[in-house]
Every structure is written in structure tokens, then in C-alpha cells.
Amino acid sequence: MEVVNRYVATRHHIEGAPTEADFEVKEEMARWAPDSGEVLVRNLYLSIDPYQLNRMKRSSVTHLAVEGILPGQAASTLLSPSPSVKRITTYAAGEVVASACEEYKAGDKVAGVLGWEDYTLFKPSPAVVMSKVADDAAGFPLSHHINVLGTSGMTAYGGFFEVCKPVKGEKVFVSAASGSVGSLVGQFAKLAGCYVVGCAGTAAKVDLLKGKLGFDDAFNYKEEPDLKSALKRYFPDGIDIYFENVGGEMLEAALANMNPYGRVALSGVISEYTGGARRAVPDLLEVIYKRITIRGFFAYDFLSKFAEFNAVIGGWVRDGKVQVLEDVSDGLESVPSAFAALFRGQNVGKKLVKLA
Ligand SMILES: NC(=O)c1ccc[n+]([C@@H]2O[C@H](COP(=O)([O-])OP(=O)(O)OC[C@H]3O[C@@H](n4cnc5c(N)ncnc54)[C@H](OP(=O)(O)O)[C@@H]3O)[C@@H](O)[C@H]2O)c1
């Protein structure tokens, strides 16, 4: 038996900011009956992530994502550059509709590496990033499992607590602070007793940070002609921790305002993905003299601590200590515009596409 499977494909390699015209929705007939050991998932929520753009370029720095740096599937399917025009793998959540594997049965909810498509077949193995969402998952919506209880939560929690090692009272700066990762980092930093300032690209986002999300302060970076002096104003006593989501000038400005022994968690550099902004040229003497630590990391570095992180984060969400922001578009056809929106600053919180 077969089923019509619609999937989103890139029309060509993408250079610059993505637009809707770079993608198309295609159809194929897919097997409904999995082969031995396989599981067929109907995807219900797709994650829309900035890093995907780096996989869609002709030449990509992600050639560094080779086996050994990341666990099997994460390296080979999530980060590797697309060799040609093709469908996109992504973190997603869905429901098992057919299974030829003892561990999974029809009706099970799962979250892990699936695809920008209606249905995905996967074969469980230790290298495959996939987890069952327990029925008793405290009543969290399925979407949370690819957001605060998925890669966004792992990135924010691991990047902030494991990489930055915050101490109560330290001063923290978060860029792209109203986004999926940034909005969580800022709230985690407040829970750790830090002073937190975030930046974002609209007045409404700034209000959200200072209001609902409880940041100590926030500013619109697009209205600041000189980011170095803006940060000097918001951090007269210097920055201890910078959670970096943006790159370019923002990284240079943050480094210029860091305190001795400051830590920078390099989560992402979205302004550099489109080639629109020049790459950061930090003053390395500043880094040396101030003994600043700059550390890059991947969410998947923390896979072994996934359950541990989620126990803490889930508790905070349940107790209302962490607000979860989800920006949901409807239908597979909306994937291209949802993806382009990330680079136009049009999302607030985690960008998701809901199918069915
Ligand atoms: N290391 C990892 O494992 C990992 C995992 C997930 C995400 N990340 C990284 O974390 C960062 C945030 O990802 P996310 O999923 O949470 O996305 P997000 O912040 O929810 O969405 C992207 C946001 O970035 C801002 N932005 C877009 N272009 C910009 C530019 N040129 N300059 C400054 N800001 C810009 C926009 O908000 P504004 O209104 O503020 O402009 C936009 O809403 C990205 O760099 C991503 O690659 C890393």
C-alpha cells in the first residue's frame, strides 16, 4: 500500500537571504507498510531553524560536521551540506502510523529527526535521534517537544549553564533575545539570579522581553547606530556572559564590553548566514588581555543530558517560571514563508509549522 507524501524541496542552492521562490512542494508515492525494523511517522509539527540555510548553500562551512564531531545521524543528516537540490531533514514531532519495529506501535507520539514532509520512514538505531513522547509527559503540548523540551531547550540550557557557567549576580547579554533560543536563555539567566539585557529588532519585541519574559532591560538594535556605545550604556560595569545568536558587529560590540574572564557561548551567527553582514572581526588582543573564553557548541553535544535538562526545564514551565513562545504557521505549503520569516525577523519565539 502506498500513500501520497508531499515534501518541501529547495529548487536550487540558496545564496543570500532565502525567499519563498527558492522552494517548491513536491509529491511522491511513499510506502505505507514499513519494511522490517522500520517505522512510518505522520509529521505533525516541523521545526523551522536558521541553521538550515547553511545546508542549502553551494559551499558550506558545515563540511566540518563530520562523523566523530557529532553523533551519527545528527552529523550526517542534520548538518551536512546538501550535495544537490533535495528534501530537508529537520527536527519534528509526529505520530507513528505504521510500525514493523517492536519498540514502536501505531499511535505512539515521537520527536526527533524527521523531515519537511507529511510522512517520514525511519529505522531506529542508536545513531538515530528519536525519542518517544511519553503519554504522561505532564500534559505538555506536542509542539513543546521540538521547542522548549527539544533542541531549543537543549541549546539554551546547555549553552547557558554548561558553557557559560553562570554565577548569581553576573551580567548577561543575549542577542536575538525574543527568538526561540534567546527567549529561553534570558529567562534561564533570570532564574540563575543574573542581571539580563536582551536585544531584538522591533519595539514590540523589546516590550515583550521587559514585560512577559522578565528581562531587566532590552533594546532595539536596529535603532542603535553604534552597538558598542549602546552596550556600554546598558552595561556600565561590563558584560560577564554573552549568549551569541547573531554574529557580525554584535559580537564585536559585545567583546569590546566584556569583563575580564567573561564567557561567550557561540550558539549561532544568523546575521552571517545570508552573507548580508560582514563576518565578525573581533579584537583578539582584547580577548587575550581580558582572558575571555569563547566557546562554540551544538545542541547535540548535550544529548546524553537530555532527560536531565528536560526534568528541570519541564518543572519550570509547569510552575509558570518559564514562558514558552511558539509562532505557528499552518500547513506544509507555509514552510517556505515560515523559513524566510526567520531572516526577516518576523517570528516571535519558536517558529513551527503545524501539519494536519
Ligand atoms: N548551536 C546550536 O546547536 C543551535 C541550535 C539552535 C539554534 N542555534 C542558533 O541560535 C540562533 C537563534 O536561533 P533560533 O532558532 O532561536 O531562531 P530565532 O531567534 O527564533 O529566529 C531568528 C531571529 O534572529 C533575528 N535575526 C535575523 N536576522 C538577523 C540579523 N541579520 N541580525 C540580527 N538578528 C537577526 C530575528 O529577530 P530580531 O527581531 O531580533 O532581528 C529573528 O527573529 C541562530 O543563530 C541559530 O543558528 C544554534
Domain CATH number, residue 343: 3.90.180.10
Q: Which of 181, 197, 309 for a ligand 1 pocket mutation test, highest count of atoms within 8 Å of Cβ?
A: 181
Residues 127, 266, single domain; the answer is no
Residues 51 and 86 in one domain: yes
Task: Indicate the number of domains in the chain.
Answer: 2
Q: For residue 4, which phi and psi values (nearest 5 degrees)?
A: -75, 125
Q: Decide if 286 contacts 257 (C-beta within 8 A).
A: no
Comparing CA positions, the residue from 131, 70, 109 lying closest to residue 299 is 70
Residue 311 lies in a domain: no
Residue 336, ligand 1, Cβ within 6 A: no
Pairing of strands 23-31, 2-10: antiparallel
C-alpha of 135 from chain center: 25
Residue 232 sits in the same domain as residue 249: yes
User: Of 259, 281, 299, which residue sits at a domain end?
Assistant: 299
Whether residue 313 is contained in a domain is answered as: no
Tell whether 138 and 158 lie within a shared domain: no
Residues 102, 138, single domain; the answer is: yes
What percentage of the chain's residues is helix, strand, coil (to nearest 5)? 35, 30, 40
Q: List all residues 6 or more positions away from 240 whose beta carbon is below 8 Å from its beta carbon.
A: 167, 170, 171, 172, 194, 258, 259, 261, 262, 263
Q: Which of 342, 344, 346, 350 to mutate to test the pocket of ligand 1 (most atoms within 8 A of CB)?
A: 342
How far apart (Å, rounded) are the C-alpha atoms in residues 326 and 29? Answer: 32
Q: Side by side, which strands form the sheet with 258-266? A: 217-220, 195-200, 171-174, 239-244, 258-266, 293-296
CATH number of the domain to which 219 belongs:
3.40.50.720
Specify the DSSP element, H or E, that contains 23. strand 23-31
CA distance 122 to 41: 8
Is there a domain that residue 310 lies in?
no
Residues 135 and 155 reside in one and the same domain: no
- φ and ψ at 122, to 5 degrees? -135, 160
Quote the CA–CA distance of 201 and 235 in Å, as a whole number: 19
334 Cβ inside 6 Å of ligand 1: no
Q: Whose CA is nearest to atom 9 of ligand 1?
A: 268
**Whole-angstrom distance, CA of residue 282 vs CA of residue 211:** 32
Together in a domain, 82 and 140: yes
Whether 270 maps to a domain, the answer reads: yes
Q: Is residue 205 part of a domain?
A: yes
| Residues 158, 292 within the same domain | yes
| Residue 220 lies in domain | 151-299
Q: Do 16 and 140 fall within a single domain? A: yes
For residues 296 and 233, give the distance between their C-alpha atoms in angstroms, rounded to a whole number: 27
Instruction: Please indicate, yes or no, whether residues 135 and 185 belong to a single structural domain of this protein.
Output: no
271 C-beta closer than 6 A to ligand 1: yes
Same domain, 74 and 97: yes
- Does residue 78 sit in the same domain as residue 140? yes
Ligand 1 atom at minimal distance to the Cα of residue 248: 32
Distance from Cα 106 to the centre of ligand 1, integer Å: 35
Smallest CA separation from ligand 1 atom 38, residue: 201
The answer to whether position 224 is within a domain reads yes
What is the Rg, in whole angstroms, of the alpha carbon atoms belonging to the chain? 20
Burial of residue 281 (CB within 10 Å: 0-12, 13-18, 19+) is exposed
Cβ-based neighbour number of residue 300 at 10 Å: 22
Which residue's C-alpha comes closest to atom 24 of ligand 1? 176
- pLDDT per residue of the chain (356 residues) written in tens, 0 to 9: 788 999 999 998 898 999 999 999 999 998 888 999 999 999 999 999 999 998 888 765 444 443 344 444 554 455 454 544 467 889 999 999 999 999 999 999 999 999 999 999 999 887 788 889 975 556 899 999 999 999 999 999 999 999 999 999 999 999 999 999 999 999 999 999 999 999 999 999 999 999 999 999 999 999 999 999 999 999 999 999 999 999 999 999 999 999 999 999 999 999 999 987 778 888 999 999 999 999 999 999 999 999 999 999 999 999 999 999 999 999 999 999 999 999 999 999 999 999 97
Ligand 1 centroid to Cα of residue 147, in Å, is 14
Distance in Å from the first CA to the final CA of the chain: 21
Residue 316 lies in a domain: no
Q: Cβ(302) to ligand 1 under 6 A?
A: no
- Residue 2: count other Cβ atoms within 10 Å of its Cβ: 10
- For ligand 1, the distance from its centroid to the CA atom of residue 37, given in whole angstroms, is 37
- 133 occurs within a structural domain: yes
